[in-house]
């Protein structure tokens, strides 16, 4: 079995250099290596913490390494990052342990002589951690909040410096786990009695886990009496206003949380078509629906930009939860910080095409909900207004931007009605 540090080092290599998703990589590693208790907690914290602080760590390392970071072997650089994270951010870890364990790693995974380099850099940081270098003001938000300058520029442009800094600060909030009660099998009060939790404010289907609640989480999920879903996603699904007997289409459905939430609002009566571009992902919806006891969902492969012509004009409600930059969920998925701004810039047109295709499913008088888990206005309100300007038979009923908190992701949704 790997130690927490070695497992964290190997996972960081896969996430940073191979593009693995942090949540999937950590889940797989915990199970494979049978990590539990303090070892599991240390492993998860080191992986997520190092990713969250990557730009800050590289800024510090660049001042204490005579070798430019770009010329350091990738594995050695990740060992330095992991060691520096422990020294600067983990109070329970002695600096000597962080240095010594980093040297052990570099001896095992790199070339002879790299151990002295790693030891020297980390001990120098340890000696000077109360007097670290500070960035220039133009780089301050990026370095202090460990966020690429391109994303900082987007947030400052959309919200101004003060609000942007609050959003960046929220990236470091440890989100609490939220459950959606399965009202086909139980109710909020009963579920609350089965697992340490409390009802979420302003969302009648949501429970927020209290300390110690995670211990019983797999049991209640396994029984199909609830599923994990953020408050913001629950509010978005509720805004669709899906009712028993309706025909509902979820155009970008996987992994299926909003589909399940709408099916519960419909009391498992009617029909939901749940689409995804990738056939391989639809098993997530099928398996989830079976566990929850939901029988009205029909998962189908569909290219969201083209749609399925046989269902045009057939839906009472349509949810269009498009792929996005994810700037609202960076606290849960820190690798999203490192999306290239040019890739983010391509998203609004893709989202607009999906929204336009999704609108074709709706009957007159029906509701169309457009949503993202980002805070970028070009992907949110700008796209909605662009759609409304080109589709005068639609009108905006409501619009919400939710900023990230301990109990909710950053999120956007707009409700439009077809006249």
- Give the residue numbers annotated as catalytic, written as ranges: 373
Q: DSSP states of 114-159 as a string?
A: HHHHHHHHHHHHHHTTTS-----GGGHHHHHTT--HHHHHHHHHHH
CA 263, 265, 268 angle in degrees (round to 5)?
45
**Total residue length of the chain:** 419
CA dist 31 and 51 (Å) reads 21
Tell me the Cα Rg of the chain: 23
The residue whose two tokens read 């690429």 is 148
The tokens of 71 are what?
Answer: 């010329």
Q: Angle, nearest 10°, between helix axes 4-18 and 37-52?
A: 30
Cβ–Cβ under 8 Å, residues 27 and 15 = no
**Residue 179: enclosing H or E segment and its boundaries?**
strand 178-181
> Could you tell me the strand order of the sheet in which 206-209 lies?
197-199, 206-209, 178-181, 226-228
Give the single-character DSSP code of 76.
Answer: H
- In 220-361, where do the E strands start and end? 226-228, 247-250, 271-276, 297-301, 315-321
Residue in 35, 64, 60, 36 with CA at minimum distance from that of residue 50:
60
- In 334-410, where do the E strands start and end? 362-372, 394-402
- In 210-351, where do the E strands start and end? 226-228, 247-250, 271-276, 297-301, 315-321
> 211 vs 41, 73, 167, 198, 199, CA distance in Å?
14, 41, 25, 11, 14
């Amino acid at each position: 079995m790997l130690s927490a540090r070695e497992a964290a080092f190997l996972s960081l290599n896969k996430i940073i250099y191979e593009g693995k998703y942090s949540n999937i990589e950590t889940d797989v590693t915990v199970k494979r290596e049978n990590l539990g208790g303090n070892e599991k907690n240390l492993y998860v914290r080191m992986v997520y913490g190092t990713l969250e602080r990557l730009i800050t760590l590289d800024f510090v390392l660049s001042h204490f390494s005579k070798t430019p970071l770009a010329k350091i072997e990738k594995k050695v650089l990740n060992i330095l990052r992991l060691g520096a994270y422990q020294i600067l951010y983990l109070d329970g870890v002695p600096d000597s342990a962080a240095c010594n364990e980093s040297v052990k790693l570099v001896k095992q995974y790199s070339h002879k002589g790299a151990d002295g380099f790693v030891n020297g850099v980390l001990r120098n940081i340890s000696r000077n951690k109360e007097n670290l270098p500070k960035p220039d003001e133009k780089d301050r938000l990026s370095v202090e909040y460990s966020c690429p300058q391109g994303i900082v520029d987007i947030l400052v442009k959309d919200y101004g410096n003060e609000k942007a800094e609050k959003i960046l600060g929220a990236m470091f909030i440890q989100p609490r786990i939220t459950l959606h009660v399965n009202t086909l099998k139980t109710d909020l009060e009963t579920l609350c009695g089965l697992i340490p939790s409390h009802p979420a404010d302003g969302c009648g289907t949501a429970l927020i886990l209290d300390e110690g609640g995670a211990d019983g989480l797999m049991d209640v999920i396994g029984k199909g009496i609830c599923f994990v879903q953020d408050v913001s996603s629950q509010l978005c699904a509720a805004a669709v206003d899906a009712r028993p007997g309706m025909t509902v289409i979820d155009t970008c459905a996987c992994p299926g949380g909003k589909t399940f939430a709408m099916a519960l609002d419909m009391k498992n009566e009617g029909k939901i078509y749940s689409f995804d571009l990738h056939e391989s992902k639809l098993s997530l919806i099928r398996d989830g629906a079976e566990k929850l006891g939901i029988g009205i969902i029909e998962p189908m492969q569909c290219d969201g930009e083209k749609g399925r012509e046989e269902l045009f004009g057939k839906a009472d409600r349509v949810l269009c939860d498009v792929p996005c930059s994810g700037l609202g969920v960076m606290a849960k998925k820190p690798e999203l910080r490192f999306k290239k701004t040019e890739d983010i810039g391509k998203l609004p047109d893709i989202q607009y095409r999906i929204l336009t295709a999704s609108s074709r499913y709706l009957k007159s008088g029906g509701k169309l909900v457009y949503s993202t888990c980002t805070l970028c206005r070009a992907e949110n309100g700008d796209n909605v207004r662009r759609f409304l300007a080109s589709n005068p038979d639609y009108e905006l009923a409501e619009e919400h931007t939710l900023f990230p908190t301990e109990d909710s992701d950053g999120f956007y949704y707009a409700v439009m009605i077809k006249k």
